Amino acid sequence: MRAEFYGGRGWGTDFPNADFNFTWRLHQLTSMAVKPDPDHMPLTDPRLPAHPFILMVDPRSVYFDEAEAEALRNYLLNGGFLMIDDFWGDRMWEHIYDQMKRVLPGREPVTLTDDHPIFSAVFPLPGAPQVPSEDSAHATMNAEGLYRTWEYEIRETPQPAQFRAYLDDHGRIMALICWNTDITDGWEEEGVSQWFFENFSEKYSYPIGINILFYTMTH
């Protein structure tokens, strides 16, 4: 399920193909019973608590008003899970960090180490994968005969991907922020080229997505 916010491209980034493709791969590769059509709704929608997993993509301009911050806080503290994906660099991090302080005051995110079970819940991965957008990867490969995985902002230097998590009082992950990576583009653009599918969708985006969802549902 996708939670809606306003500003920039908002929840429409990678929608709806990422949602449809990930749902199909969950059905294909796991025994999970998955609703085939994705839902999207405002954070203040009364149906929100019925969804155990929500996704936000490209949150560079997200702003939670008081009602949205309270709704998201209640959702997370009562067992819900939020995944935030597709944002890059220090400026974007500072922005979402400031917004999450309004949602979860007094709580600080922790950086997940490579041995965290979220990286091996179903598929073994060496740590947080860095997935670029399909356009970014292909543009560099075509121009230079190689590809970079870092989508940089002006005047910012390349940085590795990190998963940063907000934990509840029992150590459960409430919100997972996938920083310096675009996992959902590996879902959205899986059919654009065989090269991108093999190097990013199949190798990283789907395995880590399934790991995250499986870990969420079992913890």
The string of pLDDT tens digits covering residues 141-198 is 554 555 567 775 545 677 899 999 999 999 999 999 999 999 999 998 887 788 888 8
Other Cβ atoms closer than 10 A to 125: 17
pLDDT digits (tens, 9 = 90+) for 97-128: 999 999 999 999 999 999 999 999 999 999 99
179 φψ region: left (φ > 0), alpha (ψ -120 to 50), beta (else)? beta
Q: Is the pLDDT of residue 31 over 80?
A: no
Kindly report the CATH class assigned to 2-218. alpha beta
pLDDT band for 87, please (50, 70, 90 cuts).
Answer: confident
What per-residue string of b and e applies to 85-120 under the rule 16 or more CB within 10 Å gives b? bbbbbeebbebbeebbebbbeebebeebeeebebbe
CA distance linking residue 59 with residue 45, whole number of Å: 19
pLDDT at position 140 is: 53
CB distance 83 to 165 below 8 Å: no
Q: What integer is the mean pLDDT of 14-23?
A: 77
Look at the block and give the residue holding tokens 């995985």: 149
Q: Tell me the domain boundaries of the chain.
A: 2-218
